[in-house]
């Protein structure tokens, strides 16, 4: 479509093609031209992997207040109540939109079938068997055909276009920071395009790939957080990284999630002796919120030296298991476990980034014409721990709010300046890319060992020192070599890891997903979001802070 042109102009630039990016694109395409740039193929994000479903109040026994109450309880007093109310109230609209777009939600007769997950007091999870995200992604991609939307795949955004890219003497330097699009690496052609837009939506998803063990796909490298931070946006609550309790234990193999819905249907956690170790931990047992269950498993593994625990579904009817969890059943069978007769070996894995780029109720970041939605955004919805299946709902809600904001921004007369082409003069491929692989392995291992489910001051301090050193190495490499996707990702991982550690060091308490053995209690003085901005952070983060 754009050939080898280095310049693309559009009304809306969407970075990312998961549920947030696609949902926004469908709505914004009624207002103007949309370009969706995505790092890999269209469906390579976390959305396609979502299993459990979308939390939305549907049954007469349930209520908006109960859903709000459950979200607040999981989020340990850090949830923004007004945000939760707005998102939970959006549930009914989200459900109708999904149905309208042809998502084949499971039904029992005429009524939608609802699942149960940890922390929910009622059945309220809309699902399509155990592959809800794939069904949503496919329906949205189908709906995007014949709309005013152009997809550019294998396009990796490097940095947002702002005043940083204008000469110091440019008159727009006196204005508040604005976003005019992004520099995007076209991996097919090996060129960097300057994509200019009246409004840009960051929908780049999460950052599970910060950690050695994760449920997240390869694209989840926190690029959006790092790009927005470098551009001057506020990022918040990055210390709250959610670990899913039950990832299929498959050392050396691909990661695969065993949905919380399995526990919702009666799956029991056992140690290798068959004991239900959640007894005595929480009266809700396997259906306690994720932080509680993941920590209990982590503690058990550390104490016993075992490599995994087990999820037991063998008491359920075999036909029911095959029908309700066809993908989980198939995956386990392919890996030698018949879950109708055998326990599933599981371990926790990094799963969801509760913090992100701070947005207001209209999905605006602090940067003019830069919006954010989905996992990359921090809205205040999840507080210190996200309630299961609230993410797809929040993504749909904030994509909608962003589309309303986009309607306003398209009406305004805008003066987008000429921006310089990507400058790679002076770089030279030294053919030393092993450094990139090595640094990435170091960082993800460090995050797992030092900044994982259970933390301590000493480990966090060690992580800070080591990351400072790694950031210098990455910066040296970045300045000297041509840009490549793995280098862009490493640069973003190093910066975001540093921000996670910095946030974790600021929170000298334990709350929800952030558990520090040196500060085991929650304290009222920490009932605040942890906010970071480029110019307010010490020198080490500045290293990769320049665009």
Catalytic-role residue among 230, 263, 290, 295: 290
**Which C-beta is closer to ligand SIN: that of 373 or that of 439?**
373
Question: CB of 267: closest distance to ligand SIN in angstroms?
Answer: 11
> Interface with ligand SIN includes 260 (CB under 6 A)?
yes
Per the DSSP assignment, residues forming a β-bridge with 156 are 185
Both tokens of 330, joined, read: 């198939």
> Interface with ligand FAD includes 13 (CB under 6 A)?
no
**How many C-beta neighbours within 10 Å does residue 527 have?**
12
Binding residues for ligand FAD, total number by CB under 6 A: 44
Q: How far apart are CA 351 and CA 372, in angstroms?
A: 20
| CA proximity to 326, closest of 459, 135, 189, 149 | 135
**Is-catalytic flag, 290?**
yes
What distances in angstroms separate CA 475 from CA 64, 184, 404, 439, 540, one per listed residue?
48, 19, 38, 12, 11
CA 55 centroid distance within chain: 17
Q: How far apart are CA 140 and CA 158, in angstroms?
A: 26
Applying CB under 6 A, the span of 38-46, 440-448, 495-503, 513-521 interacting with ligand FAD comes to: 38-46
Applying CB under 6 A, the span of 89-97, 256-264, 429-437, 493-501 interacting with ligand SIN comes to: 256-264
> Interface with ligand SIN includes 513 (CB under 6 A)?
no
Non-local (6+) Cβ contacts of 150 within 8 A are: 1, 2, 10, 33, 34, 35, 36
Pick one of ligand SIN, ligand FAD, none as the site partner of residue 38 (Cβ within 5 to 8 A by kind): ligand FAD
| CA proximity to 260, closest of 320, 334, 137, 348 | 348
Binding residues for ligand SIN, total number by CB under 6 A: 8
Binding mask of the shown chain, residues 37 to 66, with x at each position contacting ligand SIN by CB under 6 A: --------------xx--------------
Q: How far apart are CA 440 and CA 210, in angstroms?
A: 9
* Residue where the block lists tokens 């189908």: 142
Q: How far apart are CA 508 and CA 517, in angstroms?
A: 10
| CA proximity to 246, closest of 258, 255, 262 | 258
Question: CB of 171: closest distance to ligand FAD in angstroms?
Answer: 30
> Interface with ligand SIN includes 291 (CB under 6 A)?
no
> Interface with ligand SIN includes 261 (CB under 6 A)?
yes
Residue number of the CB atom closest to ligand FAD = 18
Question: CB of 516: closest distance to ligand FAD in angstroms?
Answer: 25
Pick the binder of ligand FAD from 194, 237, 389, 498 (CB under 6 A): 389
Pick the binder of ligand SIN from 23, 221, 391, 492 (CB under 6 A): 391
Applying CB under 6 A, the span of 63-71, 99-107, 259-267, 488-496 interacting with ligand SIN comes to: 259-267
Pick the binder of ligand SIN from 389, 496, 498, 534 (CB under 6 A): 389
Binding mask of the shown chain, residues 141 to 180, with x at each position contacting ligand FAD by CB under 6 A: ---------------xx-----------------------
Query: HEC profile for 481-512?
Result: CCCCHHHHHHHHHHHHHHHHHHHHHHCCCCEC
Residues 137, 192, 547: CA angle, nearest 5 degrees: 95
Q: How far apart are CA 35 and CA 9, in angstroms?
A: 9
> Interface with ligand FAD includes 215 (CB under 6 A)?
yes
| Site residues for ligand FAD per CB under 6 A | 15-21, 37-40, 44-47, 49-53, 132-133, 156-157, 203-206, 215-216, 219-220, 223, 257, 351-352, 374-376, 389-392, 395
Q: Which residues bind ligand SIN (CB under 6 A)?
A: 51-52, 259-261, 388-389, 391
Give the active site residues: 290
């Amino acid at each position: 479509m754009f050939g080898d042109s280095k310049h693309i102009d559009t009304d809306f630039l969407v970075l990312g093609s998961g549920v947030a990016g696609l949902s926004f694109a469908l709505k914004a395409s009624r207002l103007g031209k949309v370009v969706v740039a995505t790092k890999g193929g269209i469906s390579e994000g976390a959305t396609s992997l979502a299993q459990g479903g979308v939390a939305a109040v549907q049954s007469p026994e349930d209520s908006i207040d109960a859903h709000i109450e459950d979200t607040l309880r999981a989020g340990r007093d850090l949830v923004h109540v007004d945000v939760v109310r707005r998102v939970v109230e959006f549930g009914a609209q989200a459900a109708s939109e999904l149905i309208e777009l042809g998502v084949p939600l499971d039904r029992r007769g005429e009524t939608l079938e609802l699942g149960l997950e940890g922390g929910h007091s009622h059945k309220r999870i809309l699902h399509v068997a155990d592959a809800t995200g794939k069904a949503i992604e496919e329906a949205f991609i189908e709906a995007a055909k014949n709309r005013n939307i152009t997809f550019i795949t294998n396009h990796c955004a490097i940095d947002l276009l702002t005043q940083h890219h204008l000469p110091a003497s440019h008159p727009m330097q006196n204005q508040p920071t604005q976003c005019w699009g992004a520099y995007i690496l076209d991996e097919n052609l090996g060129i960097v395009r300057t994509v200019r837009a009246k409004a840009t939506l960051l929908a780049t998803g999460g950052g599970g790939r910060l950690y050695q063990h994760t449920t997240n796909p390869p694209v989840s490298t926190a690029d959006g957080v790092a790009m927005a931070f470098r551009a001057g946006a506020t990022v918040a609550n990055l210390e709250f990284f959610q670990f899913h309790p039950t990832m299929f234990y498959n050392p050396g193999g691909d990661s695969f999630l065993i949905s919380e819905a399995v526990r919702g249907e009666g799956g029991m956690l056992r140690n290798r002796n068959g004991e239900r170790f959640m007894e005595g931990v929480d009266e809700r047992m396997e259906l306690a919120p994720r932080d509680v269950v993941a920590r209990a498993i982590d503690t058990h593994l550390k104490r016993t030296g075992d490599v995994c625990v087990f999820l037991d579904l063998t008491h359920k009817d075999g036909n029911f298991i095959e029908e309700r969890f066809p993908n989980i059943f198939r995956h386990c069978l392919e890996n030698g476990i018949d879950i109708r007769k055998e326990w599933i070996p599981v371990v926790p894995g990094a799963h969801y980034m509760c913090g992100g780029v701070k947005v207001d109720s209209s999905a605006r970041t602090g940067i003019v014409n830069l919006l954010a939605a989905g996992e990359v955004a921090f809205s205040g919805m999840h507080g210190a721990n996200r309630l299961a299946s609230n993410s797809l709902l929040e993504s749909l809600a904030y994509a909608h709010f962003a589309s309303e904001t986009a309607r306003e921004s398209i009406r305004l007369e805008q003066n987008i300046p000429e921006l310089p082409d990507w400058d790679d003069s002076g770089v030279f491929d030294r053919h030393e890319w092993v450094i990139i692989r090595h640094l990435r392995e170091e960082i993800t291992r460090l995050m797992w060992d030092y900044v994982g489910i259970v933390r301590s001051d000493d480990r966090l301090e060690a992580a800070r020192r080591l990351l400072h050193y790694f950031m210098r190495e990455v910066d040296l490499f970045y300045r000297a070599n041509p840009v490549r996707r793995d280098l862009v990702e490493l640069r973003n991982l190093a910066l975001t890891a540093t921000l996670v550690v910095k946030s974790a060091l600021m929170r000298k308490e334990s709350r929800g997903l952030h558990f520090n053995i040196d500060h085991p209690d929650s304290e009222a003085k920490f009932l605040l979001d942890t906010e970071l901005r480029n110019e307010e952070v010490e020198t080490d983060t500045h290293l990769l802070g320049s665009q």
